[in-house]
Every structure is written in structure tokens, then in C-alpha cells.
Structure 1
Amino acid sequence: MILYGLKTCDTCRKARRALPDAQFVDVRDDGVPAAVLADALAQFGQALVNTRSTTWRSLDEAERTLSPAQLLADHPTLMKRPLVVDGDRMVLGWDKAAQSALGVA
């Protein structure tokens, strides 16, 4: 299981505590592999872009019109977090539904 997120994100910290055996990848430092990003975009589409983030608010209107793939390639911290990859399954976010899908109480 791999957890993609930011080490400074409170939600990612909660996910890391709940999933202590998951490998953690900081997207700011290491990015998201192109294949994983493509699969996540295919599954989640525009929902993968966090439009409530500080990074999003700092973008100009021209940048905001870019495709989600280009936005996330240019600004990996725009990705909604965490993205948990467990084999062929992907779970986005850390709400009750995501926790339930991962078997976390």
C-alpha cells in the first residue's frame, strides 16, 4: 500500500497513523509517478484537483483553465490528499467512506 500526500498535511498525518504499514510518498519532494497519476485521473477526473488549496488560489485564470493532468504535472501539491494506492484499488481523501473502503475503523 502506498500513500501519496504531503508530510505537512494534517489529513495525511491522520491517514499515516491509521495505516502505519503503508509506504508514504511526499508529492512535493518526489511527485507522483506518471502511470499512477494517469490511473488516478482516469478514476477520479477533476475531483483529483484540490480547488480549495492555497496553491489553487495562487494560480492565475489562465493556469486554472489547464487540464487536470497538466495542472498536477506542474503543481503536484494541487492533488487532493491523500491518494492511497493498494494494488489495483485507489482511494482518494480521508473521509469516512475512504476509511471504510480501506478497512480502517
Structure 2
Amino acid sequence: MTDAQLDRLSALIENNNADAFYSWKPWKRLRETVLKLDNYECQKCKAKGKYRHAVIIHHVKHLKDRPDLALSIWDGKERQLVSLCKACHEEEHPERVIQYQYKKKDEMFEERWD
């Protein structure tokens, strides 16, 4: 990652707009490279002996914590970017899963016979 890209990403993170990073062309190219590297298979499911199609590239070291690794497949000896299915990615980020709960209010109305 260049210094200019890192500065730009750091500014996005500071302004709570880190998701804009995922529209960058270098990210889109790298995302496809990682999917091909993993044969479009969820690596978490694969480790359990199951197969599921991967649709998301997960930053093992979170983007906000390590923006310098945002465009790095490897961090030294460990993978920094891995392919995951949607369900496994949601397990990795439970804080981002929006749970909608509907609570029906008990409303009392006067009986009317108009």
C-alpha cells in the first residue's frame, strides 16, 4: 500500500467512512485474486471439512486496527485476507449483524360504536 493510499484510508476511518475503501479499484482487483487463491471456497467451512461458496474477503486483522495491511494478502507468515461465506463472516463480526426485533405495543383504545 502506498503512503497516499494509507493516508486516504486513514482519513476514511477517522471520518467513520471506512466502507468506502471497498469501492477502490486496487481492493476490487485484490479481492478477486484472493477468491481465486482460495478457489472461491469459504476457508472457515473448509477447515471443518465442509464446502460453501465464498463471497466475502475477510481482513483477519481488522481494517480499522491495521489499515497498513488493507491491501496485503499476507502479514509476514500469516494470511491477512481470507475468503469466507456470508454466514462465517457474520460469525467473525457479530457486532455488525443487525438484529431486528419487533415488539408489539399493547395499545388500549376506547370502545366506540359510531
| Common fold: TM-score over 0.5 | no
Which TM-score applies when normalising by structure 1? 0.28
**Structure with more of its chain in strand, by fraction:** 1
Larger radius of gyration: 2
More relative contact order in 1 or in 2 (CA 8 Å, sep 6+)? Answer: 1
Give the structure with the higher percent helix.
Answer: 1
